Amino acid sequence: MIQQPSVILATASYDHTIRFWEAKSGRCYRTIQYPDSQVNKLEITPDKRFLAAAGNPHIRLFDVNTNSPQPVMSYESHSNNVMAVGFQCDGNWMYSGSEDGTVKIWDLRAPGCQREYESRAAVNTVVLHPNQTELISGDQNGNIRVWDLTANLCSCELVPEVDTAVRSLTVMWDGSLVVAANNHGTCYVWRLLHGNQTMSNFEPLHKLQAHKGYILKCLLSPEFCEPHRYLATASSDHTVKIWNVDGFTLEKTLVGHQRWVWDCVFSADGSYLITASSDTTARLWSMSTGEDIRVYQGNHKATICCALHDGAEPSAS
């Protein structure tokens, strides 16, 4: 066992490595070679024990607390790039979305996939609604679909812009808003109106022309950022923009990356943002100043994704 840091920060690069970083010092303390494919997405389990790497066409789970280069588990049944991966809040199951056109659910304790939903186009993004009973997916044809896990069906379909790929989806921590970002640099914002349990309908709230280039990732700020509510948009124009959700006014533009910014993740309290870029670096930004306060250097090719877990583990019930 290695001493687990309270802050877990990982990046993956086209150089076929996954790297773990000391967030404060910027030192890389562990490198996992990932020769089989590129890694499209990283996600840390809620209990901080495992890191999921979404590749092509598999998902691998690595132990955060050892130096073992071998995955503890491999999930195989997608047939193309896995573009999205995430976990239910207690860490009991994992969800994924792939360019093979499917969204899948995996019981972490059992081999094989338990459920599969057919999106009929390459899936670029999947998010779990905070109610833990609905997945929302966005695909290359511009469809957004809500998958009701209780009823086991697609309960809602939206097409904000025909034939314009939905790149990224994000849901507010309280389930009140959903944002979809597309290849035209546009964010569509809906208010989520729902009954007691089920998400019934999307009410259009705002259309934001955030960037001239592609938006590669959009992300709403976490619960402990309250009363501030921000939307971060990472773009092919080399910038990340921070928008105030109240009116969707531009708060800050984070300038420093030299190439496309592929991914971003907020710290638990929303004070910091980590970004990953084709310029090979990841960066740590202060949300109060908009300055980058740390640059993580060591990858030899584009850094495509990042994962951060600096919050508390879920308490044992």
pLDDT band at 110 (very low <50, low <70, confident <90, very high): confident
List beta partners, residue 193. Answer: 201
Q: Can you give the pLDDT at residue 109?
A: 81
Q: Which of 80, 76, 84, 83 is nearest to 56 (CA)?
A: 80
Residue 55: how many CB atoms within 10 A of its CB? 21
Please report the domains of the chain, with CATH numbers, ordered by start residue: 8-309 (2.130.10.10)
**Statement: residue 317 has pLDDT above 50:** no
Its pTM stands at 0.95
Q: Can you give the pLDDT at residue 82?
A: 98
**Statement: residue 3 has pLDDT above 70:** no
Dihedral in degrees, nearest 10, Cα atoms 32, 1, 264, 156: 100
Range 265-283 average pLDDT: 98
Range 50-73 average pLDDT: 96
Secondary element (H or E) of residue 265: strand 261-266
The more confident residue out of 69 and 4 is 69
**Statement: residue 1 has pLDDT above 60:** no
Burial label, 203 (beta-carbon count in 10 A; 0-12, 13-18, 19+): exposed
DSSP state of 224: G
Range 19-41 average pLDDT: 96
Range 19-45 average pLDDT: 97
pLDDT band at 2 (very low <50, low <70, confident <90, very high): low
Dihedral in degrees, nearest 10, Cα atoms 15, 18, 20, 26: 20
Cβ contact 156:199 at 8 Å:
yes
**Statement: residue 195 has pLDDT above 60:** no
Secondary element (H or E) of residue 151: none
Report the alpha-carbon distance of residue 250 to residue 243 in Å, rounded: 4
pLDDT band at 315 (very low <50, low <70, confident <90, very high): low
Q: Which CA distances in Å does 130 have to 22, 186, 199, 219?
A: 29, 24, 11, 14
Q: Can you give the pLDDT at residue 311?
A: 85
Q: Can you give the pLDDT at residue 4?
A: 59
**Statement: residue 103 has pLDDT above 70:** yes
Q: pLDDT of 124-161, one tens digit each?
A: 999 999 999 999 999 999 999 999 999 999 999 999 99
Dihedral in degrees, nearest 10, Cα atoms 67, 72, 78, 84: -50
Percentage of the chain exceeding pLDDT 70: 95
Q: Which CA distances in Å does 21 have to 60, 176, 197, 226?
A: 19, 33, 39, 27
**Statement: residue 64 has pLDDT above 80:** yes
Report the alpha-carbon distance of residue 236 to residue 217 in Å, rounded: 10
Residue 130: how many CB atoms within 10 A of its CB? 16
